[in-house]
Structure 1
Amino acid sequence: MATETEIKLSLSPRAASRFSRHPLLLSSESKRVLLVNIYYDTPDRRLQRERVVVRHRRKGQDWLLSVKTVALVSAGLAQRGEWEVPGQRGRFDFSQVDDERVRSSLEAARDQLQPLFTTRFWRKSWVLDAPGGGRCEVALDRGWIEAGDQKQAICEVEIELLAGPLNGLFDIARALQAGLHLHPEASSKSERAYRLLANLPLAASKALPVPTSAGMSAIAAFRLIAQACLNHLQNNEIGVCTSTEPEFVHQARVAIRRLRSAIRLWEPLLPETFVATFDPLWQQLASRLGETRNWDVFVAETLPLIAAAFPDQPTLDRLTSNARAACAESRRHTQQTLRAAAYSRLLIEFSAALVDLSEADSGALAAFVPRCLKKRARRVDERAAVAVAADAAARHRLRVAFKQLRYGVEFFCPLLAGPALSNYHQVASRLQELLGHLNDLAVAAQLTAESLPGNEGESICSWLNAQTESLLPELRQLLAEFQRQEVPWVAP
């Protein structure tokens, strides 16, 4: 089995028209070829479920049969198994597939395989030496995905590693980004074709389980989790930039929260420069998304409650109008941030830094987990002791500590076992939901004061504070219940 390693970057048609004049490419010869790819699956989409791709590619007069495993795409980087042999269109010989599981699945599906969609594009390519060693192929693809009666344009750059270390890909990607706005692509052509074929409305993506295992090094686990967080974030980019549906912003914000929690959990093992460089940048982006999320919650969830409690409030119309305007303005700023070249560069720089992290002396993940979670649980206990009787700021600090603990438990789920895990996670979920509601009420009071300056919003703010007070007994009860739970890890 060969391993295909590449970075995929999207660009605008205008940038594509200038791509061949990039200084990095001027001294290298280019080749141009038309590629036609026919993708196959069973009528019930069995290969899609099993994350395997089968295609026939026409290159000139020849046909190639390709089999690929579907990889997690993180900041444009994908590493997948690949088998490619000469073939004839519509005929399938899987004898070269040396992964027994994949070959068995393909053999079982062979008689049901049928053409599903096609990609047709011109590829202009260059072979370059990477600055740090190795060789890469840079390819500009322009054409179309054709799925049923649907079409979608292809305009992207692929940088494939031919030989040498992985960081050569990032060296070339950064050099290309220096002259053009190239954005890491979150999905492959086949994944986009499946979505196009299904013709489903755009939907927000949630975090998926991360397959950590006890035998991994602690840094390898961090890299895998961080890449999954990037994938979660990027799967919601289009929705954030093109939709007013609040869930896209919410999920993008969750992705960054999970990523920053992972950085905090692993901070003792990470280089100081890594944390000092990237955590502030992710914090800035989280703050930008957080502001929009706060207005979304206020407009969609809190305003209806205020309207019901104050039906005759003369300032209610102005509060509603000001809040909706502020929400729309915040969303525009968030969309600008995700469309900016700085965000595209951050994805590449962070992904490159993840690849460069050394696993030496990081120890086994199995030994890291209990130490890590025990420390986070102790911090939750310390902050819980004062949170109920203190102010909203103290409850927010508890909420932050609790999120880091809960995300840690979720990251390490494959290593935790027994009924304690289910009970612990269930109570943790209820507690986090309540802490989130209390935070929404505190933020709502701030936003009301911003929208109705002076004394106009006093009665509404007082009502919001009363709602908070009414929930504190439940918080006290849930904290006590949580602290009685058996922890799902073995203390060192």
Structure 2
Amino acid sequence: MTEFELKFQISPSQRSAVEAAVGRGRSHVTRLRARYFDTADGALAAQHIVLRLRKEGRTWWQTAKAPGGTLLERHEHNVELPPVSAREVPVPRIERHEGTPVGALIHEALRKAGHDPATVELAAVYGTDVRRTTREMRTGDALVELAFDQGEVSAGERSHALCELEIELKSGSPHSMLELAHRWRNRYALWLDTVSKSARGQRLAQGASFGDPVKAVPPSLDDDSDDGPQVLCAVIKTCLSQILANASEVAAGSTDAEHVHQLRVGIRRLRTALREMEALAPSLIDPAWESALVTAFRALGRQRDRDHLLQDVQPRLEAVGAPPIAWADAAPPPDPADVVRSAEFQNTLLELVAATLPTETADDDAAAEEPAAQPAPARKPLRKRLSKLHRQVVRDGQRYEALEPAAQHRVRKRLKRLRYLGEFVAPMFGSRDAKRYLKKLEPAQDALGQHNDNAVAISAYRDNASHDGQSWFAVGWLSARQPASAVQCREALDEVAKAQPFWK
């Protein structure tokens, strides 16, 4: 069975209201006490597999979960266990999941770590104790379960308080479930969270507060892929996986600059996909997404720009004898957690999740008799976009030094879009040739990035000069180095011109 659910975090001011809303009608309250098991070397956790024993009322269940097709889907298999005495805890047995997709994944994970599934020893690593209020309800043509969980997850002496809302699709349309999720999100200012209870427990066991920053991964495509809408959906899904994972950490309060950076990378990649791949499925894209993504991207970037100025540029200036500079008081950058939790950003994420779901069709006899429309091919428009971006980068690279700073910045953005689009479609055209081509882009991207960072710094020091005239030293020193930097950028772009396009 594949589970499709959304999990939301709840602000303290809304917890009572959410609990009361879930508790209306025919709701049920259950105490859930669970223990999570793994090998001593964490073979299951390494593959994001969960093996759990949970007591629901007087009944014990063994559950195994493993990653599904997307970050919001999981393989799941539940087994009700025979009754035991009140103080007895059953022993987990892997064979209870034989013949299921998750059972096969468990065997694969154990063998990969050098264990024999038939004799492997498992031990409890962490546990949860949760008071769950549940209610099933109809929404549109879907049956969903609402679950309000309050309790804690613990590992040894460490613990973490839990208070969250899960909305799970039991049957029917996932689109109807998402419409319900929209309403509850807006009513109670909820925000999406992809960190499971088991992941929190694993972190506690390891002494970590947050997960590792999540980098981009290639979409699930191959050299036979040519269905335009499917290709675009696969790309959006991989972008969303990076965005949702890092956004969950930022919303939870992570101050790790790499979480914010990887979140911005995911947003930038998604914007590239929506812009450069729109022709594959124009009806799939809502133009309003761009505004929400840009707003979040820029707000998250303000802290990065300030950190770069104070931690990288200023020390370089001081090393060459620059005078101390007094910075004008400026409004502090927005809290990244607030940016991620904002209604505009969260609603856009839900809409993007909906866009990746299968399209619903009419279920009547007339519709069934109509021939299915042929999907738009992907390769031809992708070749066209790649070729155009490549030509533009090469053309502007030849006259890079003569371009105004704004035009130089456009070259950098085009180069990024060329790289991201190339990474998205590499499996369709031959990953080996694509890897060679994309490798040629890296020096140019580094050079243009440094050149742009200096241009941003020059602008910041120039703006500050009215407050502290000593800022002009920085303006002059950095400006004097821009011509040589522009030459380095042009030389790096010359190498891009020599790169052999892999999509020909």
TM-score above 0.5: yes
Q: 1:275 to 1:397 in 2, by over 3 A?
A: farther
Q: Is the 8 A contact 1:36 1:120 kept in 2?
A: yes
Q: Kindly report which structure 2 residues correspond to 1:280-291, keeping only aligned pairs within 5 A, or say none.
A: 280-291=291-302
After TM superposition, give the deviation of residue 31 of structure 1 in Å.
0.7
User: What residue is the counterpart of 2:345 in the other structure?
Assistant: 343
Q: Kindly report which structure 2 residues correspond to 1:424-443, keeping only aligned pairs within 5 A, or say none.
A: 424-443=437-456
1:205 paired to 2:214:
yes
- Give distance in 2, aligned partners of 1:331 and 1:277: 22
**2:126 paired residue among 117, 122, 147:** 117
User: What residue is the counterpart of 2:363 in the other structure?
Assistant: none
Partner SS state of residue 429, structure 1: helix
User: What residue is the counterpart of 1:223 in the other structure?
Assistant: 233
User: What residue is the counterpart of 1:477 in the other structure?
Assistant: 491
Q: 1:484 to 1:7 in 2, by over 3 A?
A: same
Question: CA RMSD, aligned part only?
Answer: 2.7
TM-score using structure 2 length: 0.86
Deviations 1:216-258 (A, max 9, x none): 4332332233233233233333347735543333222211111
After TM superposition, give the deviation of residue 373 of structure 1 in Å.
2.2
User: What residue is the counterpart of 2:364 in the other structure?
Assistant: none
After TM superposition, give the deviation of residue 435 of structure 1 in Å.
0.6
AA matched with 2:172: G
After TM superposition, give the deviation of residue 96 of structure 1 in Å.
4.0
1:129 paired to 2:158:
no
1:152 paired to 2:160:
yes
Q: 1:208 to 1:191 in 2, by over 3 A?
A: farther
5+ unaligned residues in a row in structure 2: which ranges?
Answer: 83-89, 361-371
- Give distance in 2, aligned partners of 1:165 and 1:232: 25
Q: Is the 8 A contact 1:214 1:366 kept in 2?
A: no
After TM superposition, give the deviation of residue 270 of structure 1 in Å.
3.6
After TM superposition, give the deviation of residue 63 of structure 1 in Å.
1.4
AA matched with 1:246: A
Q: Number of residues paired by the alignment?
A: 474
Q: Kindly report which structure 2 residues correspond to 1:24-423, keeping only aligned pairs within 5 A, or say none.
A: 28-71=25-68, 74=71, 78-87=72-81, 89-92=90-93, 93-99=95-101, 101-102=104-105, 104-105=107-108, 108-109=116-117, 111-131=120-140, 133-200=141-208, 202=210, 203-216=212-225, 217-237=227-247, 238-239=249-250, 242=253, 244-271=255-282, 274-311=285-322, 313=323, 316-319=324-327, 322=328, 326=330, 329-332=332-335, 334-355=336-357, 361-363=374-376, 365=378, 369-417=382-430, 420-423=433-436
- Give distance in 1, aligned partners of 2:501 and 2:205: 45
The alignment-based identity, stated in percent, is 26
Q: Kindly report which structure 2 residues correspond to 1:444-455, keeping only aligned pairs within 5 A, or say none.
A: 444-453=457-466
- Give distance in 1, aligned partners of 2:230 and 2:195: 23
Q: 1:287 to 1:361 in 2, by over 3 A?
A: farther
- Give distance in 2, aligned partners of 1:95 and 1:288: 46
After TM superposition, give the deviation of residue 355 of structure 1 in Å.
2.8
Deviations 1:419-460 (A, max 9, x none): 533332222111111111010011001111122227543332
- Give distance in 1, aligned partners of 2:222 and 2:179: 31
1:465 paired to 2:479:
yes
- Give distance in 2, aligned partners of 1:140 and 1:156: 6
TM-score using structure 1 length: 0.88
Partner SS state of residue 41, structure 2: coil
After TM superposition, give the deviation of residue 49 of structure 1 in Å.
1.9
- Give distance in 2, aligned partners of 1:113 and 1:413: 41
Q: 1:15 to 1:201 in 2, by over 3 A?
A: closer
Q: Is the 8 A contact 2:277 2:382 kept in 1?
A: no
Q: 1:86 to 1:408 in 2, by over 3 A?
A: same
Q: Is the 8 A contact 1:167 1:356 kept in 2?
A: no
Q: 1:179 to 1:275 in 2, by over 3 A?
A: closer
Partner SS state of residue 178, structure 1: helix
Partner SS state of residue 329, structure 1: coil
